[in-house]
Chain A
Amino acid sequence: MALTIASLKKGQRAIIKDFSVDVVPLKLLEMGCLPGNEVSLVQIAPFNDPLYLNINGSHLAIRRETACNIEIELL
């Protein structure tokens, strides 16, 4: 199974590879979540969700279920 953002550990960095769903929310792309861009996991909220990420220099939080759809390659 491919690695996704959801499998990142705190502080780990990766490159976004692909999306495992057909249509990704446009908002996510607009925030810089695009294949080829760098992502790192800044923090995980209590109870393990949502995830606080730094994507392409933007800081944002998304839920685990969304993060599962974003495939990555570790740096």
Chain B
Amino acid sequence: MAKHINVALVGNPNTGKTSVFNRLTGLNQKVGNYPGITVEKKQGNCKFGRACKVHVLDLPGTYSLNASSLDENVVIELLLNKNDKDFPDVAVVVADIENLKRNLLLFTQIKDLGIPTILAINMSDRMKRKAITLDIPLLEEKLNTKIALISSRKNLGFDYLKELIENYNQLPTRPCLNASEIAPEYFDRLRNAFPNQDLYKLWLVITQDVNFGKLDRKELKGVASFQTESPSNLKRLQQKETVIRYKFINDTLKETLHIDAANAKDLRSRLDRVLTHKVWGYVIFFSILMLIFQAIFDWSEYPMDFIDRSFASLSEWTKNAMPAGQFTNLVSEGIIPGIGGIVIFIPQIAFLFLFISILEETGYMSRVVFLMDKLMRRFGLSGKSVVPLVAGTACAIPAIMATRNIENWKERLITILVTPFTTCSARLPVYLIIISLVIPDTRVLGIFSLQGITLMFMYILGFGAAILSAYILDKILKISTKSFFLVEMPNYKLPLPKNVLITVIEKTKAFVYGAGKIILAISIILWVLASYGPGDFNNAEQIIETEYASQNLSEKELEMHVESFKLEHSYIGHVGHFIEPAVRPLGYDWKIGIALVTSFAAREVFVGTLATIYSVGSDDEQTIKSRMAAEVNPILGGPLFNFASGISLLLFYAFAMQCMSTLAIVKRETNTWKWPMWQLVVMTAIAYVFALVAYQTLK
């Protein structure tokens, strides 16, 4: 029988843990979520030789086993629960040669759990340039472990690492140091109360709120009584633990690690001087932002056009190739345009994550956080809010998840609440079509297109709304949190193309499957609601034929009248008429009203909905556009999409909270329905007021 080994990769952030994971598993990896929480779970399989199957789990990066966030909690939960199916046979602690001191803190903690542990020291290719020497045999002896000196960049040392993993049962499991000496009396009491339990495990369970596996919990029932120590006393003990661990590490490394500072040439300080400069720092940051936007709008236009056309012809082809009937209609008018509406966002999402992952891999993102912190704090945000706000231009969902590393709860909550104001990629198709309808295609100063400027203005408006509402929230919200901010400034590194590629593929896949499901479902529901109806709907042909009997219409014209009559009397038509009084003051008719309602599932559905409603067979922009341009306002006459109603629509989409997925993610991240409901009500109210004022003054 083949040997099966469970490996867990653990390590500090910025140690190249994920590169090691990518090296070990290649593309043979699966990314999902831990059950019930939105922490990413990355796992992969690989084979060492013929007889050894290895399952690798890439745990979230953490600085220690004292969890302060959901991501870090996952690590402890797994390492404490022997019954978890992913419980590692062997833990590989990935460390960075240049930050060995800090990285070893986590290593000594894991070692104390009695799990066979390998220390993989990454980035060893930098040792020479940094004039670092390491006495590995001595360090192995001091730490009771085996060390693999690796470089994921140069693909060095992985054979030896694999060999160590394969022979994990020969690894010593003795701890490095005795943590109980921080409070001997307290630990003695613990030992007497739970003679069969591992002392260090008990200590971890007591000091953190760990959601424990069932079996262990039964055995540890009395643990709660050991929290008799006041919380601040426990905290002091934790500090003591950290102090003795560092003492051990400093003593150990003094004997084994040597850095010849005179010979170490530093790229970091030279780059930092420019990149965090009070003028150049901002100039460079904003230039990079401009480049990202340029890529998202300009460069992705070509693949998007291609996708658009392909799906339009696929839909057409299906209609002709399959036997006529309701099922064919569902496929060609509901499902194919629905899938097309998802696929079309792939180029933009991919570009955005390409840039974000490059910025993160190089270590530049931390400099942006450093540069922006003071500015952002004036608005109640943190320097770390910059990442979510930039990521929000792709999609608010990953952006809101990216707020997790903001330590201060108030700053984090405000970031979560205002992020949906930033112009996400789902708003883009709506903006594009409305702008092309109501803003004249002229040039300003000969070079800038007025439509382009309008689009840019919409982005600025989104950011402005986010910043301004953050400022107001900062004044309103009465949450007292201890202000704390800490960001690691990692070394500058060239990004590994493989890592970047895998991130882009992963995030794009997550979008297609996550958001895609909703968009597809909505398209199908919409099609059904628009294709069926009560009463008159079913006699549409007859009614139209009698009504237009005298006018001698061609078959085609007659058919069009039948279609629009059907739509008006379909289920969705009834919904539209029902809400029309509410949207009429904004300059919309019942058809736009329907598009607004469906947009609450996801904004990008707007264009698709109008396409379905205007009974245009395909999603082709030009045809929808010309149809929209011809639409007449039923009350005032004149074109329905004029300057006033167009601006009103743009403003509505800029401010309204129209995304179920975002609401769901905010609920999960804040653990209450209070904040998503707050967003839904307040943002939509703002949107309504702005749209109303704009239409009433401009009309």
Which residues of A come within 8 Å of B, CB atoms? 22-32, 34-35, 37, 42-43, 45-50, 52, 56-63, 65-66
The answer on a CB contact under 8 Å between B483 and A63 is yes
The answer on a CB contact under 8 Å between B371 and A45 is yes
A31–B14 Cα distance when bound, in Å, is 13
* Listed A/B pairs (21) with beta-carbon separation below 8 Å: A26-B68, A26-B239, A29-B243, A30-B242, A31-B102, A32-B101, A34-B243, A37-B246, A43-B272, A45-B374, A46-B281, A47-B375, A49-B374, A56-B101, A56-B250, A57-B99, A58-B99, A58-B488, A59-B268, A61-B485, A63-B373
Q: What are the interface flags for B258-282 relative to A under an 8 Å C-beta threshold, 1 for contact and 0 otherwise? A: 0000000000110011001010011
Contact of A61 among B278, B281, B282, B370 (CB under 8 A): B370
A46–B377 Cα distance when bound, in Å, is 13
The answer on a CB contact under 8 Å between B490 and A59 is yes
Most A-side CB within 10 Å, residue of B239, B243, B383? B239
With both beta carbons as reference points, the residue of chain A lying nearest to B373 in the complex is identified as: A50
The answer on a CB contact under 8 Å between B276 and A23 is no
Assuming the A-B contacts A34-B243, A58-B99, are A27 and B374 also in contact, with contact meaning beta carbons closer than 8 angstroms in the complex?
no
Contact of A26 among B235, B281, B482 (CB under 8 A): B235
Question: Within 8 Å CB of B281, what residues of A?
Answer: 46
Assuming the A-B contacts A23-B235, A26-B68, are A52 and B483 also in contact, with contact meaning beta carbons closer than 8 angstroms in the complex?
no
With both beta carbons as reference points, the residue of chain A lying nearest to B408 in the complex is identified as: A63
With both beta carbons as reference points, the residue of chain A lying nearest to B246 in the complex is identified as: A34
**Supplied contacts A27-B407, A30-B66, 17 more A-B pairs, CB within 8 Å:** A26-B235, A27-B63, A27-B486, A31-B63, A31-B488, A34-B242, A34-B246, A43-B273, A45-B374, A50-B370, A50-B383, A50-B485, A57-B101, A58-B488, A61-B487, A66-B485, A66-B486
Which residues of B come within 8 Å of A, CB atoms? 63-64, 66, 68, 98-99, 101-102, 105, 232, 235-236, 238-239, 242-243, 246, 250, 268-269, 272-273, 276, 278, 281-282, 366, 369-371, 373-375, 383, 407, 482-491
Question: Within 8 Å CB of A25, what residues of B?
Answer: 407, 482, 484, 486
Most B-side CB within 10 Å, residue of A42, A50, A66? A50
A46–B281 Cα distance when bound, in Å, is 9
A51–B271 Cα distance when bound, in Å, is 17
A38–B639 Cα distance when bound, in Å, is 72
The answer on a CB contact under 8 Å between A58 and B242 is no
A31–B99 Cα distance when bound, in Å, is 10
Shortest B552–chain A CB gap in Å is: 76
With both beta carbons as reference points, the residue of chain A lying nearest to B65 in the complex is identified as: A30
Question: Within 8 Å CB of A45, what residues of B?
Answer: 276, 370-371, 373-374
Shortest B592–chain A CB gap in Å is: 46
A14–B325 Cα distance when bound, in Å, is 81
A66–B44 Cα distance when bound, in Å, is 41
Shortest B307–chain A CB gap in Å is: 42
Shortest B209–chain A CB gap in Å is: 14
Question: Within 8 Å CB of A59, what residues of B?
Answer: 268, 488-491
Most A-side CB within 10 Å, residue of B250, B374, B383? B374
Question: Within 8 Å CB of A35, what residues of B?
Answer: 243
Question: Within 8 Å CB of B66, what residues of A?
Answer: 26, 30
Question: Within 8 Å CB of A47, what residues of B?
Answer: 374-375
A62–B486 Cα distance when bound, in Å, is 5
Shortest A26–chain B CB gap in Å is: 6
Question: Within 8 Å CB of B371, what residues of A?
Answer: 45-46
With both beta carbons as reference points, the residue of chain B lying nearest to A48 in the complex is identified as: B374
The answer on a CB contact under 8 Å between A23 and B232 is yes
Shortest B372–chain A CB gap in Å is: 9
A27–B67 Cα distance when bound, in Å, is 10
The answer on a CB contact under 8 Å between B374 and A30 is no
Contact of A62 among B238, B375, B485 (CB under 8 A): B485
With both beta carbons as reference points, the residue of chain A lying nearest to B279 in the complex is identified as: A46
Shortest A22–chain B CB gap in Å is: 7
With both beta carbons as reference points, the residue of chain A lying nearest to B99 in the complex is identified as: A58
The answer on a CB contact under 8 Å between A58 and B239 is no
A2–B325 Cα distance when bound, in Å, is 84
Most B-side CB within 10 Å, residue of A23, A31, A59? A59
With both beta carbons as reference points, the residue of chain A lying nearest to B232 in the complex is identified as: A23
Contact of B373 among A28, A49, A60 (CB under 8 A): A49
Question: Within 8 Å CB of A24, what residues of B?
Answer: 239
The answer on a CB contact under 8 Å between A30 and B276 is no
The answer on a CB contact under 8 Å between B488 and A60 is yes
A17–B68 Cα distance when bound, in Å, is 26
Shortest A28–chain B CB gap in Å is: 6
Shortest A29–chain B CB gap in Å is: 5
The answer on a CB contact under 8 Å between B63 and A30 is yes
Shortest A6–chain B CB gap in Å is: 14
A65–B408 Cα distance when bound, in Å, is 14
Question: Within 8 Å CB of A46, what residues of B?
Answer: 276, 278, 281-282, 371, 374
The answer on a CB contact under 8 Å between B63 and A61 is no
With both beta carbons as reference points, the residue of chain A lying nearest to B257 in the complex is identified as: A57
With both beta carbons as reference points, the residue of chain A lying nearest to B109 in the complex is identified as: A30
The answer on a CB contact under 8 Å between A58 and B370 is no
Contact of A60 among B250, B268, B278, B487 (CB under 8 A): B487
Shortest B260–chain A CB gap in Å is: 14
With both beta carbons as reference points, the residue of chain A lying nearest to B490 in the complex is identified as: A59
The answer on a CB contact under 8 Å between B483 and A65 is yes
Assuming the A-B contacts A56-B101, A62-B485, are A26 and B242 also in contact, with contact meaning beta carbons closer than 8 angstroms in the complex?
yes
The 9 closest A-B pairs by CB, nearest first: A46-B278, A47-B374, A59-B489, A29-B242, A49-B374, A63-B485, A30-B64, A58-B102, A61-B487
